Structure 1
Amino acid sequence: MSDSNKFLRGTMILSLSQFLSKFLGMIYVFPFVAMVGQQGMALYQYGYQPYTILLSLATLGVPMAVSKFVSKYNALGDYRTGQRLFQSGLIVMTLTGFVAFVLLFLMAPTIADWIIQNPDEIGGNDLSSVVFTIRMVSVALLLIPAMSVFRGYFQGYQSMGPTAVSQIVEQIIRIGFILAMTFAILNIFNGERATAIGFATFGAFVGGLGALGVLLYYWKKRKHDMQTEIDQSTVDYQVPLKSMYKELIAYALPLSFVGLAIPLFQLIDLFTFNNALTATDAFTQGEAETAYGVFSGSAHKLILIPVAIATAMSVTLIPTITNSFTNGDRALLQRQITQTYQVILFLAIPAAVGLMVLSYPTFAILFGLGDVELGGTILRYYAPAAIMFSLFSVTAAVLQGINCQKIAVLSLLAGLIVKATSAYGFLYMMGPIGGSFSTLAGYGTALIVNIWAIGKFAAFDYAIIIKRTILIVMLTLGMAVAVIIVKEGATALFPLDSWTNAFLIEFFSVITGAGLYFILTVKTGLAGIVLGDRFSILKKNNNTS
């Protein structure tokens, strides 16, 4: 197998594993919420959000950076430099993981105070439960950062299998542990919900053990071959570790920070949501936590589904943008960026509008009727964020491809400032849906900067994208009108008072919407233009442009 084919195959395997891992991370929420409720979901988020941030800070994009360096020096015939980076990296990541664990463990009471400032309010989680949850998930920081070095080292040898398999195994074990322990504690041992949530977050550590086992298996299996290549190294550049890590951090830090966009926005909500709602005297702590569970857990997971699908469809276009920009092929670069935008808008806009129109039956099917009024309302206003999330990830990747990573970082900082300064006010004035509006305002700010930068530094002409966006919006509005008519008719026949009725409403509405959008996009030639290279049957013999 040639090096290019090997790289393409490895990239496809890794992309598929990441998509499957994220998809599994979405669907487990449905049975989990059925067992612990929305307040339980809120408590789970209290632990997981700080953990996610500290994990990213502890690893700083290590897999990607290590992969780049190992691959670079291997290509030069210097396998020893990659080995030195691997050995020192294991030590460094183990230490940073330990520091992150100690920090999160000791800071748990302080973080809990920030999240819940009025713990004596009615019906909410108590501070001790929040502290217990944060401390249980913090243990995973002892393990996960060091694993990132293994993954990066394998990827440097263009071996994506170990990373892909370990990611899937880690997610399956984590989810299995979460659901099994939650069910056992609540239904077999008749334990407290807080105890079940704490052990659920501990699933991050258990999943990490499974992934580490996979990586060690591959390491033992391939160690001899890698050592042979190291012994046969033709050169040794003797790169000082200080210089190596300086370059690693310079490369990885911007990418790591941009990858933290959604968790950082959620972190702001973590420290403002409950406090803003309870300050209005319109919500007890328990009601505020239920709303937070719906917003940050249930609704958030739903809108990530179209985001995952859209980005998975477009991600194969991103690496080629770097080559086009580097080679100065502006015409090809224009076509590639246009195609990337088109795929995202073609999928994300109708998906977001569909979630808005069908927010109530969708929420009822997946999370039950108990909180359907609250959940349907929040989902309706939060759904447009799917478009924002998709566009930001892709525009940031394009900026990376044209060597403008710093602009992506600056745009995210601007968005975070808007989110942080508006979150409390929106929540206080508008209630739970205020979190959606502050997120849209923050991401909108970041997107404006990214879109401007791509136009300026890639000399990108947005005329075609504006034209296609107008067409997509018009077709989506036509789809939405049809779905509303079908939904209202179905609701008259099947009132939204049972799971079966919710399913029937959803079924007829989705079939109508998906079918009509497909027909309209094919008839207008839009589907062939956007997806023609992937699905030749959609190509239309006309001159639509």
Structure 2
Amino acid sequence: MSERQLVRGTMILTASIFISKMLGLIYIFPFQAIVGLEGLALYTYGYVPYTVLLSLATIGIPLAVSKFVAKYNALGDYRTGQRLFQSGLVVMGITGFAAFLVLFFLAPFVATSILDTDDLQGNSVNDAVFTIRMVSVALLIVPVMSIVRGYFQGHQSMGPTAVSQVVEQIVRIIFILLLTYLIINVWNGELGTAIGFATFGAFVGGLGGMAVLVVYFLKRRDRFQAKIEKSTADHQIPLTKMYKELLRYSIPISLVGLSIPLYQMVDLFTFNTALSAVYDADVVDRYFGAFAQAAHKLILIPVSVATAMSLAILPSVTSAFINNEKDRLQRQITQTYQIILFLSVPAAVGLSVLAYPAYGALFGLGDLAIGGEILRNYAPVAVLFAIFAVTSSLLQGINRQKYAVIALASGLVLKLSTNVLFIGWFEANGAIYATGLGYLTAVAVNVWAIGRFAEYDYRSLLKRVLLIAMFAFVMGLVVFAVNRLMQLIVPLETQGAAFLMLPVAIIAGIAVYGLLGIKSGLAGQILGHRFRFLKKRDRASEEA
């Protein structure tokens, strides 16, 4: 495959991931309008255990399959990749079925661990059991679908994965919004029934994504077979040896990818119990819905954008490490840190300052006091999410991924040991502080490991980090002032008023931060390789 085709394929896949994530964010707004924060909480009770079981069922094998298929295809051995794919379908089918059985039959235990069986307010245990069992069905198809995607990617064909991801998300969202609206607003059904069918959307979306992959596979089956028949080598690797190597590569990736769901699992089993000492069950559900779904979706915006831009550098990090190009490795690590901080810090500051109008504009004013407070405190944690994701990938690039697993375990232990205590001290915000402390610990371990094993000198980064923090602080002050001024003119009393003031404050913040970054030359130094006009402006400032 030519370099041009490879770049095109990578861009297609990146675009599909971005579209899928944005769709996954946007649908939450009408969904919350239909089911409220209690409905979002119930949805989370089912979806978090499902996410964990899905990751355990696949354990990163689909990603590893794409790597191995590509490797042996490059060696002219198409038979080995085909054998791995065929056996992988069986393995994923078995592990998916096993995960389905575990989640389906453990649903009562999970539900009673989350909710108080004696409290008649808020979501019921029966509703939670129904929701968990409905989403568990998706485990029968999603693991199999993921390995088919991995096989296509191994053949350097990104289109099938990209199209299936978008179709899966669109089908899932249409099913969720249509069924919940009909059940609640047309058929006058129960909230628990609506949310159960909403989580069943994961299975329906999976069917849509799988249908796309089957069509692509049938169209290309003869092409795959022709390549197999023309194989110039056949390594005859035993499946046991093959899977041993696969697991050695995939398990650390899978565990690190589970970081956010695992933190959410801790909250799932401790949040309600700890907060019920202060509030009634219905209020606890609303706090959990705001924390685990509404605010959480918003803070992932800067995380996804910044991480996507910085991850593009990682192949160069791996190449520099393997070739022992120490100077190049130092530059690449510096650039990765700079990009992630330059984008995520101001986004988190702005989201925290604009928490109330942002939440009001997107989710309405019904639960603004709860949602605005949660978002204001949760937004800064987005920076830690982004840094952990990127530093874990850097450790993978220098072959030290086990330290990312150690970091994850350290942070999780701290989260688990402090969550109930902090909720007792700070109420709902305590869960945010425990998450922040856990991620701060994990980031510290990763940063230390990069410094030691990549011999990275952090002093070269210090000046620019200070500049980013200073510019973000100035931007925050301006956004705060604009927001206050707008609220004097248009009080935050309707969703329309929130929609009106939010873009004005955002534009002011972007303008101030962008101007400071460009005038100081910082933006050109960090992003000039991506945006030529910044590089030119930076060069001009240096000549002056």
Short-chain TM bin: over 0.9
Q: Deviations over 1:55-111 (max 9, x none)?
A: 000011122111111111112221111111111111111011111001100000000
Q: 1:61: which partner in 2?
A: 60
1:70 equivalent to 2:69? Answer: yes
Would the aligned equivalents of 1:479 and 1:516 in 2 still touch at CA under 8 Å?
Answer: yes
Q: 1:400: which partner in 2?
A: 396
> 1:120 Cα deviation (Å)?
2.6
What secondary structure is seen at the aligned counterpart in 2 of 1:168? Answer: helix
Q: 2:148: which partner in 1?
A: 150
Which moved further from structure 2: 370-379 or 73-82? Answer: 73-82
Q: 1:274: which partner in 2?
A: 272
Supply the distance in 2 between the matched residues of 1:61 and 1:6 (Cα, whole angstroms).
26
Residue number among 434, 437, 451 corresponding to 1:438 in the alignment: 434
- Percentage of pairs with the same residue: 56
Q: Which runs of 4+ in 1 moved over 3 A?
A: none
Q: 1:216: which partner in 2?
A: 214
Supply the distance in 2 between the matched residues of 1:515 and 1:75 (Cα, whole angstroms).
48
Q: Deviations over 1:328-358 (max 9, x none)?
A: 1111111111111111111100110001111
What secondary structure is seen at the aligned counterpart in 2 of 1:123? Answer: coil
Q: Deviations over 1:146-184 (max 9, x none)?
A: 112211111111111111111111011111111111111
Q: 1:36: which partner in 2?
A: 35
What letter corresponds to residue 42 of structure 1 in structure 2?
A
Q: Deviations over 1:8-40 (max 9, x none)?
A: 332222222112211211111111000000010
> 1:364 Cα deviation (Å)?
0.5
Residue number among 440, 465, 470 corresponding to 1:469 in the alignment: 465
Q: 1:293: which partner in 2?
A: 289
Q: 1:423: which partner in 2?
A: 419
Q: 1:342: which partner in 2?
A: 338
Q: 1:500: which partner in 2?
A: 496
> 1:190 Cα deviation (Å)?
1.2
TM-score of the aligned structures, taking structure 2 as reference length: 0.98
Residue number among 190, 193, 209 corresponding to 2:191 in the alignment: 193
What secondary structure is seen at the aligned counterpart in 1 of 2:530? Answer: coil
Q: 1:365: which partner in 2?
A: 361
Q: Deviations over 1:370-419 (max 9, x none)?
A: 11011111111100111011101100000000000101111111011111
* RMSD, aligned CA: 1.1
What letter corresponds to residue 30 of structure 1 in structure 2?
F
> 1:122 Cα deviation (Å)?
4.9
Q: Deviations over 1:215-248 (max 9, x none)?
A: 0011001110110111122222111111111111
Supply the distance in 1 between the matched residues of 2:9 and 2:497 (Cα, whole angstroms).
45
Q: 1:207: which partner in 2?
A: 205
Which moved further from structure 2: 202-211 or 503-512? Answer: 503-512
Residue number among 465, 479, 482 corresponding to 1:486 in the alignment: 482
Supply the distance in 2 between the matched residues of 1:248 and 1:391 (Cα, whole angstroms).
27
Would the aligned equivalents of 1:122 and 1:286 in 2 still touch at CA under 8 Å?
Answer: no
Q: 1:97: which partner in 2?
A: 96
Supply the distance in 1 between the matched residues of 2:534 and 2:6 (Cα, whole angstroms).
29
Would the aligned equivalents of 1:122 and 1:284 in 2 still touch at CA under 8 Å?
Answer: no
Supply the distance in 1 between the matched residues of 2:503 and 2:166 (Cα, whole angstroms).
31
1:47 equivalent to 2:78? Answer: no
Would the aligned equivalents of 1:10 and 1:159 in 2 still touch at CA under 8 Å?
Answer: yes
* Correspondences of 1:220-299 after superposition (within 5 Å): 220-278=218-276, 280=277, 282-299=278-295
Supply the distance in 2 between the matched residues of 1:257 and 1:304 (Cα, whole angstroms).
19
Residue number among 312, 316, 320 corresponding to 1:316 in the alignment: 312
Residue number among 370, 377, 397 corresponding to 1:374 in the alignment: 370
> 1:464 Cα deviation (Å)?
2.6
What secondary structure is seen at the aligned counterpart in 2 of 1:239? Answer: coil
What letter corresponds to residue 450 of structure 2 in structure 1?
I
Q: 1:353: which partner in 2?
A: 349
Residue number among 384, 390, 395 corresponding to 1:388 in the alignment: 384
What secondary structure is seen at the aligned counterpart in 1 of 2:122? Answer: coil
Q: Deviations over 1:248-269 (max 9, x none)?
A: 1111000011011111111111
Which moved further from structure 2: 41-50 or 313-322? Answer: 313-322
What secondary structure is seen at the aligned counterpart in 1 of 2:298? Answer: helix
Supply the distance in 2 between the matched residues of 1:16 and 1:70 (Cα, whole angstroms).
23
What secondary structure is seen at the aligned counterpart in 2 of 1:533? Answer: coil
What secondary structure is seen at the aligned counterpart in 2 of 1:542? Answer: helix
What letter corresponds to residue 83 of structure 1 in structure 2?
Q
Supply the distance in 1 between the matched residues of 2:357 and 2:412 (Cα, whole angstroms).
32
Supply the distance in 2 between the matched residues of 1:308 and 1:529 (Cα, whole angstroms).
22
What letter corresponds to residue 11 of structure 2 in structure 1?
M
Q: Deviations over 1:184-221 (max 9, x none)?
A: 11111111111110000000000000111110011001
> 1:7 Cα deviation (Å)?
2.8
> 1:315 Cα deviation (Å)?
1.6
Supply the distance in 2 between the matched residues of 1:465 and 1:366 (Cα, whole angstroms).
37
What letter corresponds to residue 409 of structure 2 in structure 1?
L
Q: Deviations over 1:107-161 (max 9, x none)?
A: 0000001111x23325211100000000000000000111122111111111111
Supply the distance in 1 between the matched residues of 2:489 and 2:13 (Cα, whole angstroms).
46
Would the aligned equivalents of 1:42 and 1:290 in 2 still touch at CA under 8 Å?
Answer: yes
Supply the distance in 2 between the matched residues of 1:170 and 1:507 (Cα, whole angstroms).
31
Supply the distance in 2 between the matched residues of 1:507 and 1:226 (Cα, whole angstroms).
50
TM-score of the aligned structures, taking structure 1 as reference length: 0.97
Supply the distance in 2 between the matched residues of 1:276 and 1:229 (Cα, whole angstroms).
59
Q: 2:85: which partner in 1?
A: 86
Would the aligned equivalents of 1:123 and 1:284 in 2 still touch at CA under 8 Å?
Answer: yes
Question: Unpaired segments of 5 or more residues in structure 1?
Answer: none
Which moved further from structure 2: 203-212 or 73-82? Answer: 73-82
> 1:438 Cα deviation (Å)?
0.4
Residue number among 148, 164, 167 corresponding to 1:166 in the alignment: 164
1:525 equivalent to 2:526? Answer: no
Supply the distance in 1 between the matched residues of 2:491 and 2:519 (Cα, whole angstroms).
35
Which moved further from structure 2: 38-47 or 485-494? Answer: 485-494
Which moved further from structure 2: 499-508 or 178-187? Answer: 499-508
